[in-house]
Chains A and B, each alone.
Chain A
Amino acid sequence: MPKVKIDGVELEVPAGITVLQACELAGLEIPRFCYHDRLSIAGNCRMCLVEVKPGPPKPQASCALPVADKQEIFTQTPTVQKARKGVMEFLLINHPLDCPICDQGGECDLQDQAMAYGFDRSRYHENKRAVPDKELGPLVKTSMNRCIHCTRCIRFATEVAGVEQLGATGRGESMEVTTYVEQALATELSGNLVDLCPVGALTSKPYAFEARSWELTKTESVDVLDALGSNIRIDTRGAQVMRVLPRLNDDVNEEWISDKTRHAIDGLRHQRLDRPYVRKGNKLVEATWDEAFGAIAAKLNGMEGSKIAAIAGDQCDAESMIALKDLLTALGSPNIDCRQDGAKLDGPRGSYIFNPGVRGIDQADAILLVGTNPRAESPVLNARIRKRYVHGNVAIASIGPAEDLTYPVVRLGAGPATLRDLVDGKLDFAQKLQGAKHPLIIVGMGALSREDGAAVLAMARELAEKLNAVREDWNGFAVLHTAAARVGGLDLGLVPGEGGRDVAGILEGCQKKEIEAVFLLAADEIDTTKLGKAFVIYQGHHGDAGAHRADVILPGAAYTEKPGIYVNTEGRVQVGRRAGYPPGDAREDWAILRALSERLGKTLPYDTLHQVRSRLVAVNKVFAAIDQQAPAAWGPFGKAGATTDVPFKSAVANFYMTCPISRASKIMADCMASRSHLMAAE
């Protein structure tokens, strides 16, 4: 390990890092614009100049200079200061002085660094450069006069997002960042460009002129719009969620989030359930909580347990799910399910989580995708696979839908038959998997939520065991979920009990009048026309499919409005925090269920959030280990059997609209329109 001396302090640093990184290890902040931890090094802004001995007698760009043994680095000398001031003055030659009307104001790298290195007046009398603005789609607003050509956006689009649409034309003063042909960015990660831009050249279009960064209350929380559970920061002003930004977590989302996570929040302002409703005659009529509970009690009291059923939705927090399960148990009903899509998952924990973790993708050397389109199901996870691809030396193949995943994928086939061939070692790729040290098999909901899902799951297990992918130091069996609540639900055992019915069974029972009451906990993805004449209680936050069919509506809270625990696809337990209060009369979901249980005479044994969480831990110990991930118990699961020839479909047909929140979002609708326009042009 090289030893360097930084500003007179000796330090041992890992070999192969840059001088800038070494300075950061020493606790010094070097100003920079173009350098970014997760992108390739460009070295073109020249803001990170330092003096290095031995070396040429001029300041060096520290971001592009590798450390060497016995190097002496000076970061605060008068030469360095003068050089940085010079660079800043050059950058400001063409940068407009429009901070007061710029959305980046208050969180702008250039603004901040100009405070330290800026000259207080201009020595240039020429007109500033004018650059036409570019059209980058419905999410990214451009103001290209402000661009300082750091090329972070170009590098992000090419390296991380995998769309080679952004580039630069011209040189020197004539340089322009552009898409060459005017078109929206065809990526689900375009919102990150706004975060990356160190100035106000790329800003958020939906958030334009909405708020200033210092007016916002910041709440650290977890995303529920896909199963990855990206770590987010929710910025609110008063009751309104103004924006969502990513939070750093190298184990989950690094520092990216998808466009849906970031921009579907306007859906939280539309179609909200803000008061209870009770169906009278053929019409839903506004009611008080008391009337709503009364209507439920009148119906359920004395009803046989086996005639009651409950379905938990895709975005429920663990607290409300355990309250629902406990209530149903108290009512004597085994008919409960959290798998709205009918996925055939209920084995040991190892059978339904992404065992290697997102970090495991970095280690994998052969990846097989079964019935999944990670780009639509979890774009940030897809970017992680792409990162692995860019790193090199990995074979990626897929069985299922042929989609552009932003990296080359060998398509082996479309359906279960191909998977069978692979298990039997008939395909060339089988050898590659066999030879791999860390084979990774990602099974999507497209393969599991079908009639023969259990057989496909059994085949995937057989393959994993045959490849020795499940062993002491590596578990390469990974299930990619589409719903944020699914792993939590399975951990809490929201699956049919003895003699109980699953979602399909419940719907069938409704039509045969064997089920008379159904409790939908924010469950909107089922076919509500199949609920027949059953008495439907819907508890949720949006007026979506479930609410339209409901006989009683109990208004609940969306994920930004309640503290809640979510378990992501890796089996990582994460805590979401409340950023605001639910609208109108709506309440936190577990509290509604607790109040209802009292009216039904089956009072649940918890009164505070702490008690509910203690109950969670009592049911399953994983809830005690917050933000930890490890491969889980392995055992027999799946059910070997006949498979059909129906090809695998991706579980997410449309990335932009997958849940009540994103369906209520106008911005997501705009994104969809822009994307289909783009597809039509191709």
Chain B
Amino acid sequence: MIIGTWLFTKMRGELVGTDAEGNRYFQDKRVVAGTRRKRWVMYNGVAEASRVPPEWHGWLHHMLADPPPAGGAPRKPWQKDHQPNLTGTDLAYRPPGHTLSTGEKPKPPYEAWRPG
């Protein structure tokens, strides 16, 4: 957590809500006519932008006027849980054939003769 942002949040922030991961979302206390209110997020843990779920992402970027309702936005049965970007972690995707990937190795591009 950056001290400047923490101080700014203390002085000017108004808590709007919290997502399932515990990230807290704030907006500017003051309302200035003709400008839109600043919105920001205080991460619960590592500051990693991809941890913001899509419904809060929409609000944060002023695509949605209202924050998602408490308890999360209504979900369709086919929607999957939000997953942050895993690049750089142990769980990152590795193509088959990568030295660190598990599972089946790709076959060589030729079929070898074996004595019968």
Contact = CB atoms under 8 A, between A and B. Distances in A.
Interface of A: 238-240, 268-275, 277, 283-284, 542-543, 547-548, 583-584
19 contacts: A239-B109, A240-B109, A269-B110, A270-B111, A272-B111, A272-B112, A272-B113, A273-B113, A274-B108, A274-B112, A275-B112, A283-B115, A542-B113, A543-B113, A543-B115, A547-B115, A548-B115, A548-B116, A583-B110
Given A240-B109, A271-B113, A273-B112, 9 more contacts: A238-B109, A239-B110, A269-B111, A272-B112, A273-B113, A274-B113, A543-B113, A583-B112, A584-B112
A547 B110 contact: no
Nearest to A271: B113
Contacts of B116: 548
A273 B111 CA distance: 9
Contacts of A277: 115
Contacts of B111: 269-272
A570 to B, nearest CB: 33
Contacts of A583: 108, 110, 112
Contacts of B114: 543
A405 B109 CA distance: 38
A268 B110 contact: yes
Interface in B8-33: none
A270 B110 contact: yes
A584 B109 CA distance: 10
Interface in B65-112: 108-112
A348 to B, nearest CB: 40
Contacts of A584: 108, 112
B114 to A, nearest CB: 8
A588 to B, nearest CB: 17
Contacts of A543: 113-115
A584 B107 CA distance: 12
A295 to B, nearest CB: 15
A283 B110 CA distance: 23
A141 B108 CA distance: 28
A269 B109 contact: yes
Top 4 nearest A-B pairs by Cβ distance?
A: A543-B113, A284-B115, A271-B113, A274-B112
A144 B80 CA distance: 45
Contacts of B113: 271-274, 542-543, 547
A272 to B, nearest CB: 5
A268 B110 CA distance: 8
A271 B112 CA distance: 5
A548 B114 CA distance: 10
Nearest to B108: A583
A272 B110 contact: yes
Contacts of A548: 115-116
A265 to B, nearest CB: 12
Contacts of B115: 277, 283-284, 543, 547-548
A216 B52 CA distance: 42
Contacts of A547: 113, 115
Contacts of A239: 109-110
Interface string B37-50: 00000000000000
Contacts of A275: 112
Contacts of A271: 111, 113
B75 to A, nearest CB: 36
A397 B26 CA distance: 97
Nearest to B112: A274
B109 A274 contact: no
Nearest to B116: A548
Nearest to A275: B112
A268 B108 CA distance: 13
B108 to A, nearest CB: 7
B92 to A, nearest CB: 24
Nearest to A580: B109
B113 to A, nearest CB: 3
A384 B114 CA distance: 42
A48 B114 CA distance: 57
A416 B109 CA distance: 49
Contacts of B110: 239, 268-270, 272, 274, 583
Contacts of A284: 115
A73 to B, nearest CB: 52
A573 to B, nearest CB: 30
Contacts of A270: 110-111
B96 to A, nearest CB: 15
Contacts of A269: 109-111
A602 B39 CA distance: 82
Contacts of A542: 113
Nearest to B113: A543
A559 to B, nearest CB: 15
A548 B113 CA distance: 10
Nearest to A550: B115
